[in-house]
Chains A and B, each alone.
Chain A
Amino acid sequence: MSCEPLIVLDGIEKTFTVRRKAGPFRREKREVRAVDGISFTVDRGEMVGYIGPNGAGKSTTVKMLTGILTPSGGRLRVAGIDPARDRTRLARRIGVVFGQRTTLWWDLPLRDSYRLVHRMYRIPDDRYRENLARCVDLLDLGDLLDVPVRQLSLGQRMRGDIAAALLHDPEVLYLDEPTIGLDVVSKSRVRAFLRELNAERGTTVLLTTHDLTDIEQLCSRVMVIDHGRLVYDGGLPGLHAAGDGERTLVVDLARAFPPIDSVPGARFVRAEGPRQYLAFPASASAAPLVAAVAEAYPLVDLSVREPDIESVIAKMYGGAPGGTHEERRESLM
């Protein structure tokens, strides 16, 4: 058992039967494949980003990993446990945070939710106290413990949720869109906490997100899922290369200039008065580009914009036949 990776998926499938009205009396049954044969493994201590467009099958995968949904086919093991069969046993060893849904008790103060987690997970008292103190400290929850969950702001609630998911020392932490809707400060606080958790405790983290910055700052490995299939598994730089993505350098010059087209490696996109947009390959460094622009023009300000995940994936599969997938695209997940 110990030689097997922590998470093993082998040809996992999930099909949903969707009934649709096809006439006044006729009902059409249709099979929708939300997940279509995914295989991967995750080792202990890895921090993996799991990304893809809406409806790609991310949440479905996470729900199968937690045992909420039963796979239609394939073999699935988390810490040697078959999640759908031994859901309750697995629950003690994993932590889950849904960005769009709280796992806390809505009407009760945060403190009461934690107390219930303490007893429900049968966490030894000293471990509980230590973990709670740590989370309260790092996630800055001290003032919030006596506030009912429904009164917390989104960012506060998210921090509260993350703490709740970690009180029982889970081996794996699944985060489904953990930074969705958070402001910049909350985002960076959550990210810093997760980084430290992974480094210090060796907690394995699987994270689904739409925010490429989450991935860049946290994950050494990215898996891209599209139309229920795994289309990329590797490092982030490789993803940009595979997707042939372009980053954008936005430069503010002292005044309006004619399009910058003399800088090697960059392509002029458009100009808005003194502001110009230059595209360059995602795999290239921005530094020589900035130096070249600064040398030739009076540079006031600049920023680099990352290609968003959607466009990277869109480019990645721009050439692939999409017709057969269209049907799956409508899937619920």
Chain B
Amino acid sequence: MDELLTAAPAEGTAGGARTEEAYRPAADALRTYRMVAALWIRSTMTYRASFALTLASSFCVTFFDFVVILLMFGQVRGLGGFSFAEVAFLYGTTGTAFGIADLTLGSLQRMGRRIRDGSLDVFLLRPAPLLAQVAADAFALRRLGRVLQGLMVLVWSLVLLRDEVAWSWGRALMVPWTVVCGAVIFMAVMVLGASALFWLQDAAEVTNSFTYGGNTLLQYPPTVFAQDLVKGVVFVVPLAFVNWLPALYVLGRPAPPGVPSWAAFASPLVALVCCGAAGLAWRAGVRSYRSTGS
């Protein structure tokens, strides 16, 4: 009994020290994400054949998207003044960026159900950031198929474009940079969408129209769309910064009418602003969480 009494306060201080260390939200979130995702990957890997199949099917389903573009170019020379290689470049950049965002945060879609049935409570009881827990929950490595497919098309387009584009260091570096910023913008939109679920549990479809829908939109050159739509995607929902604007710079094309040319370099800033907005929305959402009965 004495032993218990003396052990208790000692442990209390140890706990205190650990919480100090834990008060780095970003590091803590990453650690949580890694931990939970690793567990899910391991559990998927217990059925290797099934995993290989789902990975292959994910790859194929996204590839059919691209087949549509291939077929189209069997009939026409250019699309809105863009060559096949250029359209493939747009496809590859947005496909990879969206694939990365979908791989890391795709599970957020499931949160609406968790809020509705109250099982989100369980996540709130754990000493780890909620967003990381929800995002890593049921982590599906098969979504890697989308990333791989996007990357393949991107590399192919770059091979085709090696003589078409006047390459410079700036343009070359812009390619990976575009993918990274694009992924971050998609992720921010996904978190924003997930935050809306705290108030509207069926908002997932709306979010999907921006993420999946946005991805499809960005696969085609902006010149094929109405100018108002392009403006909306630049100024309202800033999806144009995912690939359109930086890609136009890489391809040596002018920015869409009404959009300043420096906007091609604004993607990181836009990504940052989107993340800030998503963070605030998420925080507000968690605070207004009402749980369910019992």
Contact = CB atoms under 8 A, between A and B. Distances in A.
B35 A91 contact: no
A107 B289 contact: no
A77 to B, nearest CB: 16
Contact of B39 (A66, A88, A105): A105
A69 to B, nearest CB: 6
Question: Chain B: interface residue count, which band?
Answer: 20 to 34
A100 interface: yes
Contacts of A103: 122, 125-126
Contacts of A87: 124
B187 to A, nearest CB: 22
A69 B290 CA distance: 7
Contacts of B125: 66, 68, 91, 96, 103
B32 interface: yes
B39 A116 contact: yes
B122 A101 contact: yes
B14 to A, nearest CB: 8
Interface string B261-294: 0000000000000000000000000010111111
B291 A119 contact: no
Nearest to B127: A91
Nearest to A127: B11
Contacts of B122: 98, 101-103
A88 B119 contact: no
Contacts of A96: 125
Interface stretch (B15-23, B60-68, B209-217, B250-258): B15-23
Given A108-B43, A112-B39, A112-B43, A120 B126 contact: yes
A59 B126 contact: no
Contact of A116 (B14, B18, B35): B35
B127 A88 contact: yes
Contact of A88 (B121, B129, B287): B129
Given A63-B121, A112-B43, A202 B4 contact: yes
Nearest to A90: B127
Given A89-B127, A112-B43, A120 B290 contact: no
B128 interface: yes
A87 B43 CA distance: 29
A93 B121 CA distance: 17
A185 B54 CA distance: 43
Interface centre among B4, B119, B126, B127 (most CB of A within 10 A): B127
Interface SS of chain B: helix, strand, loop or mixed? helix
A63 B22 contact: no
A112 B40 CA distance: 10
Given A92-B15, A108-B39, A169-B11, A201 B4 contact: yes
Contacts of A66: 124-125
Given A101-B121, A169-B11, A119 B35 contact: yes
Contact of A107 (B4, B22, B36, B43): B43
B291 A68 contact: yes
A186 interface: no
B4 A98 contact: no
Nearest to A96: B125
Nearest to A59: B294
B118 interface: yes
A200 B1 CA distance: 8
Given A101-B121, A116-B39, A92 B291 contact: no
Interface centre among A68, A91, A124 (most CB of B within 10 A): A68
Interface in A17-67: 55, 59, 63, 66-67
Interface in A118-137: 119-122, 124
Contact of B128 (A68, A70, A88, A112): A88
A56 to B, nearest CB: 12
A333 interface: yes
Contacts of B42: 112
Interface of B: 4, 8, 11, 14-15, 18-19, 22, 32, 35-36, 39, 42-43, 118-119, 121-122, 124-129, 138, 287, 289-294
Interface of A: 16, 55, 59, 63, 66-70, 87-89, 91-93, 96, 98, 100-103, 105, 107-108, 112, 115-116, 119-122, 124, 169, 176, 200-202, 332-333
Given A91-B126, A93-B15, A101-B122, 6 more contacts: A88-B22, A88-B129, A91-B125, A108-B43, A200-B4, A202-B8
12 contacts: A66-B125, A68-B124, A69-B289, A88-B127, A98-B121, A98-B122, A112-B43, A116-B36, A120-B127, A120-B128, A121-B126, A201-B4
